[in-house]
Chain A
Amino acid sequence: MSTEVATPVESLPPLPPAHPAESYLSRGWDLRSWLLTKDHKRIGILYLVSITLFFAIGSFYAAVVRWNLLVPNGQISADAYNKSFTAHGVVMVFLFLIPSIPATLGNFLIPLMIGARDLAFPRINLLSWYLFIVGGGLTLYALFTGGLDTGWTFYTPYSTVFAQSNVEVAAIGIFIAGFSSILTGLNFIVTIHKMRAPGMTWFRLPLFVWAHYATAIIQVLGTPVVAITILLVALERIFHFGFFDPNRGGDPILFQHLFWFYSHPAVYIMILPSMGVISELVCAFSRKRIFGYSFIAMSSLAIAAIGFLVWAHHMFVTGMAVYSAMVFSLLTYLVAVPSAIKTFNWTATLYKGSVQWDTPMIYVFCFIGLFLIGGLTGLFLGNLGTDVHLTDTYFVVAHFHYIMVGGAIMGYLGGLHFWWPKITGRKYVESWGKVSSLLIFVGFNLTFFPQFLLGYLGMPRRYHVYPDEFQVLNVLSSAGATILGFGYLFPFSYLFHSFFRGEPAGPNPWGAIGLEWTTPSPPPTQNFEEIPVVTTEPYDYPNMGEE
């Protein structure tokens, strides 16, 4: 575990050279070796490629939405607009954000971090990728042939009775993709329980692993509920079952309860892994032990647990019982506490550290700053008084984009840059990384900050036309989206380039601590020659290089 930081590669003679002859990547490039692989690292790459594709598709629809909103009367038809924002939401939520960090970085890193040769069920891992592709493919088929105009929330009775679009196919696609997520979570839970290396006790686990453990609980216990709910929507359309049909005494609001039971915790599926990434990065780039390890670890579990108790804060204006609303609002405030704890602990970790401003760390700064806004604006929406005005407006849109883009995607990009040398064995060009992270930061804020104002002013979401007085802010937002879009193109290109032309990275280019950095880059198929024995606490940066 010891590393001489100044010159990490040379100081570790026992480790293999920078370009190991045998790595998971060198095992062949034919299609078969990829499509039938059971190696968690290769499956991680398969996911990485697929979600990048889905992200590109989702971004395209976002561009359509922002372009339409440049002028008050819209540029495209109402129907095309409705289908675009639905497609954006469905693709980004179900096909990009939910699998993003867990299925790529989590898949790749968890066995490496806990000292295992693979996930507990490699075949199920591959199966989950195939389910994801089949589900994602069906969903895209629905979007491209006729489209879907229900919004990603599928609210009944619109989705069951009135929508003329491809609801059934999309619903079944999302249902299948949901099982991919469940299987990933199941694999993580079992792996973390049963596959840890000797000496890797629960409180020596990297916080990235803790975050994924909490995420996996949500995936396993929440996803099935949305799966059945979406299935009921399809059944109601196909067989005319009356679950949510008010004409037969069914309750459309029941759909919202069942839907949000999953879909609120799903937000934590997106953000928790990102928080895990941030915990790793903060330590590595400030050479400090994490401040309040157990508080961060436990707050992940607390978020996963309390996150299941707050769903009806999406429903305060549906006419739900006032006392029930109060209970849900109170619980919503409670779930804000663990997120606050994490933010404070990350900031405190920097105190008297040795802070290195590399690209991943810049993403950490972005994350903390933006997640803070996202989280704090959540307090307006969890508040019964202000939610009445703000819900279903652009304030909500801005809020969850600050969480999902400012939080989840910043964490994802930070993590991707941090572990890129481990995954590919090569370095990307640092200056490009810095420039693009700044571009993304500026573009993001310009896109979404005006939306807070729009929401407070009262512009409802999902509007393809709007009153004239909202135009200034909408134009600003669309301008920001353009910058953001270009910002995203950069990492895509320079990472792709570095994959072929990048400088060899060596096993531990950042001088970071963790079992994954003791393996060669890229790691061999078996991960470890010998299963390591863990003897130290996590993030033991203060004692680094003293052995």
Chain B
Amino acid sequence: MNPGFTFTPERAATSAGEVDAVFYFILVVTGLFALGVWVALIYFAVRYRRRSEHDRPREIEGSLLLELAWTLIPLGLMMTMFVWGAKVYFHLNRPPDDAMTVTVVAKRWMWKLQHPTGQREINELHVPLGRAVRLVMTSEDAIHSFFVPAFRIKKDVVPGRYNVAWFRATKLGTYHLFCAEYCGTEHARMGGRIVVMEPGAYQAWLAAGPQPESPIAAGEKLFAELNCVTCHRPDSAVRGPVLTGVFGHPVRLASGETVIADDAYLRESIVNPAAKIVAGYQPVMPTFQGQVSEEQLIALVAYLRSLVAPAQAVPATVTSAGRAAARGGEAGR
């Protein structure tokens, strides 16, 4: 027997419990159904075994009542599973507001992770116990998938977009990080470790290494280097929208539509400025596609996210789910 062999995976995050609850509910329900059918199958097969070649079974008509029963009862049970699962999924897609943001850039065949304070790690992520961690992820090449079995979370990491996942670790330890989407030759070795530490130990760990720039600081520097400041500052000769406080808020577009300025929108506006012009502005901004790397983009977006207007309350973190929820709400009205 190998070390650590168990029948159930570790449960080391809040999400693990939520997913497992649905898992075991379905397991019990389906288990009972399977048992029922097997017992009936075996019983009938044995009990009504052909005893003589002249057996002539009686005719048995179908039964509408039975048909309805075994259509509607499973349907009801399955709707319960669906609703429960949907709730969990919704929650898994909605990071809490107090989450710290770790950026993830995947490339064949490694994970590049960066802490909010700027520390970078490769194939390893140290996180504090009990703190929600929001992962903003993108890929430089093929599709990958960020999978931590002990947390029961998985999200594809797709080139050209930001996917978000989050977790809140509840148990100290070291856990597997896998790439779960086939990405080429060394796919199986594109793994790593998530190390869950006491918050104090985490702070110590952060302090121990060299003190790098935080993404926000790096973003601010880039913002200046790329001359974004010439147009996008309250004190600049205004040709572009002021970006202070824009994150998380609805933006009215020239097309008459409204979008919420989330990570994806900000990223798009840098690489493809013409796509969604803010109402009242001209499409004069050049594209930065090819001039900034994925990691620089992340830094820029992090910086923009940090530009909260002084008078303004901290906006609710808008995430994929949140944005979709906002839309759903509109549609519902």
Direct A–B touching, Cβ under 8 Å: yes
A residues adjacent to B (C-beta < 8 A): 5-6, 74, 78-79, 82, 149, 151, 153, 155, 157-158, 161-163, 246-247, 249, 251-253, 286-289, 291-295, 316-319, 321-323, 325-326, 329-330, 333-334, 336-337, 340-341, 343-345, 347-348, 350-357, 365, 368-369, 372-373, 376-377, 379-380, 383-389, 391-393, 453, 456-458, 460-469, 471-472, 541-542, 544
| Contact call A157/B78, Cβ cutoff below 8 A | no
| Contact call A457/B8, Cβ cutoff below 8 A | yes
Q: B9 on the interface (CB 8 Å rule)?
A: yes
Q: Of B186-194, B213-221, B236-244, which stretch is located at the interface?
A: B186-194
In the assembled complex, the CB of A262 is this many whole angstroms from the nearest CB of chain B, namely 19
Taking CB atoms and an 8 Å cut-off, the chain B residues in 51-77 that contact chain A are 51, 53-60, 62-63, 66-67, 70-71, 74-75
| Contact call B188/A463, Cβ cutoff below 8 A | yes
Select one of A333, A356, A453 contacting B50, CB under 8 A: A356
CA distance A320 to B88 in the complex (A): 16
Q: Can you spell out 20 A-B residue pairs with CB atoms less than 8 angstroms apart?
A: A5-B54, A155-B143, A161-B142, A287-B57, A341-B71, A345-B62, A350-B48, A352-B48, A352-B57, A369-B38, A376-B33, A377-B30, A380-B26, A385-B86, A388-B92, A460-B178, A462-B187, A465-B188, A465-B189, A542-B59
Q: Give me 13 other A-B pairs in contact (C-beta within 8 A), A155-B143, A292-B62 excluded.
A: A247-B160, A287-B56, A289-B59, A295-B62, A318-B143, A341-B71, A354-B51, A379-B78, A380-B26, A388-B155, A462-B188, A469-B3, A542-B58
| Contact call B53/A5, Cβ cutoff below 8 A | yes
Q: Of B39-47, B98-106, B124-132, which stretch is located at the interface?
A: B39-47
Q: B229 on the interface (CB 8 Å rule)?
A: no
CA distance A288 to B45 in the complex (A): 13
| Contact call A384/B89, Cβ cutoff below 8 A | yes
Q: List, in ascending order, chain A residues with CB within 8 A of B71's CB.
A: 337, 340-341
Select one of B50, B79, B108, B156 contacting A354, CB under 8 A: B50
Q: B114 on the interface (CB 8 Å rule)?
A: no
CA distance A234 to B149 in the complex (A): 35
Q: List, in ascending order, chain A residues with CB within 8 A of B70's CB.
A: 340-341, 344
In the assembled complex, the CB of B107 is this many whole angstroms from the nearest CB of chain A, namely 11
| Contact call A336/B78, Cβ cutoff below 8 A | yes
Secondary structure class of chain B's binding surface, majority of residues: mixed
| Contact call B79/A385, Cβ cutoff below 8 A | no
Q: List, in ascending order, chain B residues with CB within 8 A of A289's CB.
A: 59-60
Q: List, in ascending order, chain B residues with CB within 8 A of A388's CB.
A: 19, 89, 92, 152-155
Select one of A162, A252, A369 contacting B184, CB under 8 A: A162
| Contact call A354/B48, Cβ cutoff below 8 A | yes
Q: B281 on the interface (CB 8 Å rule)?
A: no
Taking CB atoms and an 8 Å cut-off, the chain B residues in 126-149 that contact chain A are 141-143, 145, 147, 149
CA distance A392 to B157 in the complex (A): 14
B side interface size, CB within 8 A: 96
In the assembled complex, the CB of B269 is this many whole angstroms from the nearest CB of chain A, namely 14
Q: B81 on the interface (CB 8 Å rule)?
A: yes
| Contact call A330/B82, Cβ cutoff below 8 A | yes
| Contact call B182/A155, Cβ cutoff below 8 A | yes
| Contact call B60/A351, Cβ cutoff below 8 A | yes
| Contact call A319/B154, Cβ cutoff below 8 A | no
CA distance A439 to B145 in the complex (A): 38
Select one of B18, B27, B149 contacting A385, CB under 8 A: B18
Q: B176 on the interface (CB 8 Å rule)?
A: yes
Q: B256 on the interface (CB 8 Å rule)?
A: no
CA distance A158 to B30 in the complex (A): 37
Q: List, in ascending order, chain B residues with CB within 8 A of A466's CB.
A: 188
CA distance A246 to B158 in the complex (A): 9
B residues adjacent to A (C-beta < 8 A): 1-9, 18-19, 22-23, 26-27, 30, 33-34, 37-38, 40-41, 44-45, 48-51, 53-60, 62-63, 66-67, 70-71, 74-75, 78-79, 81-82, 84-90, 92-93, 108, 141-143, 145, 147, 149-150, 152-156, 158-161, 163-164, 176, 178-189, 272, 320-321, 324-325, 327-328
Q: List, in ascending order, chain A residues with CB within 8 A of B7's CB.
A: 453, 457
Q: List, in ascending order, chain B residues with CB within 8 A of A350's CB.
A: 40-41, 44-45, 48
| Contact call A317/B161, Cβ cutoff below 8 A | no
| Contact call B30/A162, Cβ cutoff below 8 A | no
Select one of B50, B85, B189, B328 contacting A323, CB under 8 A: B328
| Contact call A392/B145, Cβ cutoff below 8 A | yes
| Contact call A373/B59, Cβ cutoff below 8 A | no
Select one of B40, B89, B183 contacting A158, CB under 8 A: B183
| Contact call A341/B67, Cβ cutoff below 8 A | yes
| Contact call B37/A372, Cβ cutoff below 8 A | yes
Q: List, in ascending order, chain A residues with CB within 8 A of B55's CB.
A: 287, 354
Which residue from chain B places its CB closest to the CB of A255 in the assembled complex? B143
CA distance A467 to B286 in the complex (A): 48
| Contact call B2/A469, Cβ cutoff below 8 A | yes
Which residue from chain B places its CB closest to the CB of A453 in the assembled complex? B7
In the assembled complex, the CB of A390 is this many whole angstroms from the nearest CB of chain B, namely 8
In the assembled complex, the CB of A115 is this many whole angstroms from the nearest CB of chain B, namely 25
| Contact call B85/A385, Cβ cutoff below 8 A | yes
| Contact call A318/B44, Cβ cutoff below 8 A | no
A354 touching B56 in the complex, CB below 8 Å, given contacts A252-B158, A383-B85:
yes
CA distance A336 to B26 in the complex (A): 14
CA distance A289 to B58 in the complex (A): 10
Q: List, in ascending order, chain B residues with CB within 8 A of A383's CB.
A: 22, 26, 81-82, 84-85
CA distance A457 to B142 in the complex (A): 26
CA distance A380 to B4 in the complex (A): 25
In the assembled complex, the CB of B143 is this many whole angstroms from the nearest CB of chain A, namely 6
Q: List, in ascending order, chain A residues with CB within 8 A of B22's CB.
A: 383, 385-386
| Contact call B41/A322, Cβ cutoff below 8 A | no
| Contact call A385/B87, Cβ cutoff below 8 A | yes
CA distance A251 to B90 in the complex (A): 24
